[in-house]
Amino acid sequence: METITTVKEMQRRSEQLRREGKKIAFVPTMGYLHEGHLSLMREGRKRGNILLISIFVNPTQFGPGEDYDRYPRDMKRDLALVQGVGVDICFNPSAQEMYPDGFQTAVEVEGVTKNLCGISRPGHFRGVTTVVAKLFNIVKPHLAFFGQKDYQQLIAIKRMVEDLDMDIELIGMPTIRETDGLAMSSRNAYLDPEQRKEATSLYRALLKGKELYHQGERSTAVILNHVRGIIEEGKSAAIDYAKICDAHTLEDIEEIKGEAVIAVAVKIGKTRLIDNIILKEE
């Protein structure tokens, strides 16, 4: 596996691969990899000739007081894991390489980033779409893989690709969970054993919401009452939001008509976890 750390070298390598007619499959990550990341990579391995990943903890998507400094990092472990899934190239730039002195441009998707994490993490999606646009310009992928675990991020990136005519096929991938339902996340490493148990409430709550929906309930207030109730049973759980939104616009809805998403963000102690589930008629 090759590791590349500079923008120029990565661009040169990708250009060369494109000229050779290779199909570049790209999985951007912030590292501290788990099965969720690896599932995206395995799909990339199947669908492209070259599997390229990035490991970059992007400072601009963290707000002041968030966990940028203590975000878990373990490059040695990550490199061992990615070799196991057949990654060809790992792009691993420094923050200075990505944001040299004088950097002053941003890509901002408007509507779909307003609600949910857009309220609690101002500037977060601007950081995400800017870094993903940069990575796309550096890596020049044909295909790019993103997890539905970060549902609002996936929708925002889809919007950006469409609005800015980026010639890239995006593939959304299902959320990979621990056996007790907790969505895999690098941040799960922050949880102590007690909190780890409590963290299962997010998925239990989402499943309850989905069950009510399939029993015919269409009032979001009724469903969300149950969802909140389950999460609030945990003694260190504090709900940031629990909402039901239109699955495409991500606007709040009162009554579920088309496809919808239940999205939750919950602080367990100091650790902020997110999860979601799609509601649609089967």
CA 106 to chain centre: 19
When asked if residue 271 is in the footprint of ligand AMP (CB under 6 A), the reply is no
What are the residues whose beta carbons fall under 8 Å from the beta carbon of 5, sequence distance 6 or more? 91, 92, 93, 94, 97
Quick one: DSSP state of residue 186?
G
Which of 4, 13, 17, 37 is the binder for ligand AMP (CB under 6 A)? 37
The one segment of 77-85, 106-114, 131-139, 144-152 that binds ligand AMP by CB under 6 A: 144-152
Which residue, 135 or 245, has its beta carbon nearer to ligand AMP? Answer: 135
Q: Please state the closest distance from residue 176 (CB atom) to ligand AMP, in A.
A: 4
When asked if residue 29 is in the footprint of ligand AMP (CB under 6 A), the reply is yes
Bridge partners, 2 (sequence order) = 89
Which residue, 36 or 209, has its beta carbon nearer to ligand AMP? Answer: 36
When asked if residue 275 is in the footprint of ligand AMP (CB under 6 A), the reply is no
CB count, 10 Å around CB of 157?
26
When asked if residue 87 is in the footprint of ligand AMP (CB under 6 A), the reply is no
| Contacts to ligand AMP from residues 173-202, by CB under 6 A | 173, 175-176, 183-186
How far apart are the C-alpha atoms of 47 and 24, rounded to whole Å?
Answer: 9
Task: Tell me the helices (H) and strands (E) count for the chain, helix number first.
Answer: 10, 9
User: Does residue 232 contact residue 247 with C-beta atoms inside 8 Å?
Assistant: no
Which residue, 28 or 209, has its beta carbon nearer to ligand AMP? Answer: 28
When asked if residue 272 is in the footprint of ligand AMP (CB under 6 A), the reply is no
CB count, 10 Å around CB of 147?
22
Which residue, 22 or 34, has its beta carbon nearer to ligand AMP? Answer: 34
When asked if residue 150 is in the footprint of ligand AMP (CB under 6 A), the reply is yes
User: Does residue 40 contact residue 87 with C-beta atoms inside 8 Å?
Assistant: no
User: What number of chain residues touch ligand AMP (CB under 6 A)?
Assistant: 17
Place of tokens 């889809």: 158
Q: Annotated catalytic residue: which of 37, 142, 214, 248?
A: 37
214 catalytic residue (yes or no): no
Which of 140, 149, 243, 272 is the binder for ligand AMP (CB under 6 A)? 149
Burial class from Cβ neighbours inside 10 Å (0-12, 13-18, 19+) for residue 264 reads buried
How far apart are the C-alpha atoms of 229 and 12, rounded to whole Å?
Answer: 54
How far apart are the C-alpha atoms of 55 and 96, rounded to whole Å?
Answer: 14
When asked if residue 146 is in the footprint of ligand AMP (CB under 6 A), the reply is yes
Which residue, 30 or 166, has its beta carbon nearer to ligand AMP? Answer: 30
Which residue, 36 or 127, has its beta carbon nearer to ligand AMP? Answer: 36
When asked if residue 40 is in the footprint of ligand AMP (CB under 6 A), the reply is yes
- Dump strand ranges (E) for 7-87: 24-29, 50-55
How far apart are the C-alpha atoms of 162 and 168, rounded to whole Å?
Answer: 9
Q: Please state the closest distance from residue 234 (CB atom) to ligand AMP, in A.
A: 20
Q: Please state the closest distance from residue 138 (CB atom) to ligand AMP, in A.
A: 16
Residues forming the site for ligand AMP (CB under 6 A) = 29-30, 36-37, 39-40, 146-147, 149-150, 173, 175-176, 183-186
As annotated, the active-site residues are 37
